[in-house]
Structure 1
C-alpha cells in the first residue's frame, strides 16, 4: 500500500499526525510530510483512520 498526498488540498492541519505520528508529521511551516509512504500491512487500520480524519480529503491510500 502507498500513502498519497494531494498537495493542492493539504493545509497542514495535523489531524493525520495526531492520529498516526509514526507516519505523518507537520513541520513548523505547517507542511505535512509522510514519514513512511509504504507502511506495512499491519498498520493499515491506523493509517486508514488517519487518512479518514483529514478534513481536507488530501490523503488517499493506494493498494
Structure 2
C-alpha cells in the first residue's frame, strides 16, 4: 500500500499539490500543505504522485 507524507517545514505554500490533487491535499490556515488522505488509492494515488513531482519545495514523499 502506498502512503503519502508531507514535510510542512519544507512547504512554501505554492499550492501546486492542492491544484493537482485536491482530494489528497489542502492548505491550512497559514497556507501550508495539509494532508487529507495518507493512503490514497486509484486515481487519487496517481494524482498524489503527480503532486509530488510538481511540488517546488519537494515537501511530498510517496512511501511504497
The TM-score range, normalised by the shorter chain, is: 0.7 to 0.9
Q: Number of aligned pairs?
A: 62
User: What's the RMSD between the two structures over aligned residues?
Assistant: 1.2
Q: Which 4+ residue blocks in structure 1 deviate beyond 2 angstroms?
A: none
| Unaligned segments of structure 1, at least 5 residues | none
- Aligned counterpart, 1:7: 8
- Give distance in 1, aligned partners of 2:8 and 2:28: 14
Using structure 1 for the length normalisation, give the TM-score: 0.85
Using structure 2 for the length normalisation, give the TM-score: 0.84
| Unaligned segments of structure 2, at least 5 residues | none
Contact 2:20/2:47 (8 A) holds in 1: yes
